[in-house]
């Protein structure tokens, strides 16, 4: 698998995980069937794509990106869809996550294998 396909798999894994998390929020604690099933499918697909990304992306970098960007996108979704607004402490924490993802992706010299 070319490296660019691994990074594409990682990007899609992040997006699908955010969709799954959004559906989880809509599942009403797993009492609504379709959002619950959708969340399970999305999480499964996200983990599969994350595993595919590991063919060329080092585990630490892939997971930091998957988790960090997932948190950021989920925060945006929670603001737009659920009308939940983060306070100052949450925004500072998210900013630190962004800084960490940038450092890991921009400066790490890790190799996949």
Going from N- to C-terminal start, the domains of the chain cover 3-107
Q: How far is CA 10 from CA 39, 52, 80, 85, 93, in A?
A: 18, 8, 24, 27, 23
| Burial classification of residue 83, based on how many CB atoms lie within 10 Å of its CB (0-12 exposed, 13-18 middle, 19 or more buried) | exposed
Give percent above pLDDT 90 in the chain.
Answer: 81
Query: DSSP secondary-structure letter at 85?
Result: -
**Rounded to an integer, what distance in angstroms lies between the CA atom of residue 50 and that of residue 68?**
14
Name the band, by pLDDT with cuts 50, 70 and 90, for residue 102: confident
Residue that the structure tokens 């379709």 belong to = 34
Residue 18 has pLDDT above 80, yes or no: yes
pTM (predicted TM-score): 0.88
Question: What pLDDT is recorded for position 113?
Answer: 55
**Rounded to an integer, what distance in angstroms lies between the CA atom of residue 21 and that of residue 86?**
17
Residue 50 has pLDDT above 90, yes or no: yes
Contact 24, 70 (CB under 8 A): no
pLDDT tens sequence across 6-16? 999 999 999 99
Name the band, by pLDDT with cuts 50, 70 and 90, for residue 105: confident
Q: Per-residue pLDDT averaged across 70-96, rounded?
A: 95
Nearest CA to 7 among 67, 45, 49? Answer: 49
Residue 1 has pLDDT above 90, yes or no: no
**Rounded to an integer, what distance in angstroms lies between the CA atom of residue 43 and that of residue 51?**
12
């Amino acid at each position: 698998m070319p490296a660019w396909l691994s990074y594409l798999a990682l990007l899609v894994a992040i997006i699908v995980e955010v969709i799954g998390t959004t559906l989880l929020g809509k599942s009403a604690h797993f009492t609504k069937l379709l959002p619950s099933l959708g969340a399970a499918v999305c999480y499964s697909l996200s983990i599969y794509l994350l595993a595919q990304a590991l063919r060329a992306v080092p585990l630490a970098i892939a997971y930091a990106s998957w988790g960090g960007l997932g948190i950021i996108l989920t925060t945006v979704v929670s603001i737009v869809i659920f009308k939940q607004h983060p306070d100052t402490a949450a925004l500072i924490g998210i900013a630190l996550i962004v800084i960490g993802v940038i450092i890991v992706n921009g400066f790490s010299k890790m190799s996949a294998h």
